[in-house]
Amino acid sequence: MKKREIGIFGGTFDPIHNGHIHSVIATANHLAIEEVLLLPAHIPPHKNNVIADSKHRLAMAKLVCQHHPLFTCDDRELQRNRPSYTIDTLNEIKATYPLHTLYLFIGMDSLLSFTRWHRWQDILTHCHIVVSRRPNYCINQINDETQELLVKHQVKTVATLKSHRAGKIYLYDQTNFAISSTNIRDQLNEKANRLSDLPSYITHYIKEHQLYYSNK
Ligand code: ATP
């Protein structure tokens, strides 16, 4: 029987880039997870400089799903006209998939700020957390609360992770993409031509809709 496992990957995706796509693909392959929900945040709680409208960020996420069968686009955060808290999203997904094991995929920068997330203490009751490495963000920078969280919840092997239904944290350090949406927006704003950090279909969408070209 097929395993019931789903990855969950949320973000502002302003725009979505190769760092997002390929770190998740590599991590999902490593964990043998066959489906990842891609969830653009409508109102990201910790960002006040979102440039592209949600409808464009969703459209770009949908393009990624068309090109990579691993991903399924999920627009549920756009249906809520309030801050896009991960705990609310997890509650809803758990209600839809009560028998599945959920794996929340985040980058190292998100782990470093995790204790600022809304109701962060509740998140591990619904899912595991899988953390991808990201250049310039190092595990040594975690605060005391996150350190305690790791002492309690970190597991070192995929087998141990998979032997639990939720509540574990796994650090996957085999990805290292020096790519950020901020950097891409800056390049677009400076009319850079070399946009190798984006899939060509996303570059095309951005050009077609003239996103990010004058955001300063
Ligand atoms: P910005 O530069 O605007 O802050 P970002 O590139 O960090 O954006 P987000 O949409 O904020 O992208 O990130 C969504 C999720 O993807 C977060 O969990 C983040 O840690 C992760 N992520 C983003 N870029 C990378 C990357 N290069 N490698 C691994 N994870 C990443």
DSSP string, 9-59: EEE--TT--HHHHHHHHHHHHHHT---EEEEE-SS-TT-S---S-HHHHHH
Sign of CA dihedral 152, 124, 57, 205: positive
Mean pLDDT of 88-105: 96
Q: Is 5 in the pocket of ligand 1 (CB under 6 A)?
A: no
pTM of the model: 0.96
Distance CA 81, CA 53 (A): 14
Q: Is 114 in the pocket of ligand 1 (CB under 6 A)?
A: no
The tens digit of pLDDT for each residue in 105-128 reads 999 999 999 999 999 999 999 999
Distance CA 20, CA 200 (A): 15
Nearest CA to ligand 1 atom 8: 181
Q: Is 11 in the pocket of ligand 1 (CB under 6 A)?
A: yes
Phi and psi of 124, rounded to 5°? -70, -10
